[in-house]
Structure 1
């Protein structure tokens, strides 16, 4: 193990990660997880959003044997984003504070909305909402809800 990981390897690993910044891997985001893998301090199986395909890609980049992602860390749910039921939103801003990628906009005491193109599907906003007006929806559901 080295204290300073190879910056090129960190960059390659970070680009392979889904950039959800969800923390399910046990790190504060995708970049810190990539740095830990490059230092040999974290295994390739810690990213549920990346799923088995992500774990395989990380294994290939590191030259280690592939293995499935650790399902105890969460479910692999590709293609989901947050959707706020705007009629039920009370404007508390707790979802905005919870979003690691600033994909939710709105002001205090006004309804909020999700910028689909920025949302990574990390689900951190869902438990933060005190009125349960945030749903995780798939690409097909987004089209049906008219939120795209």
Structure 2
């Protein structure tokens, strides 16, 4: 158990750091786009902007899922990356199908990834919520002449 924690926590920290990078890039581009295109707001531009926010955050989650899969492959839990990625995706999304299980030695890594994944989906949801609220605020401001 201790070995799983010793290996799992650095992977979690790496993934948290990567998601922070995706988040910072996403927000930086969002602010830049909103500032440059504020006078040209339209339904299409807002939909594109929100879609890009979703895609960037989803890409961040996918990269993290792949990192966990690479760890499982490295530890010898799976012989193919595709199987490791499937297992990782099931954990990350907290689906817990149970059709594939890891050995007793490493099985604590599954719940660790699930806890990490649910946190990262929460972060992604918060970012998207912030972007949606900003689009609404901008639309209300235009309607009221601000």
Does TM, normalized by the shorter one, top 0.5?
A: no
1 or 2 for the larger relative contact order (CA 8 Å, sep ≥6)? Answer: 2
Higher fraction of strand? 1
Q: Which has the larger radius of gyration?
A: 2
Question: TM-score when scaled to structure 2?
Answer: 0.26
Question: TM-score when scaled to structure 1?
Answer: 0.26
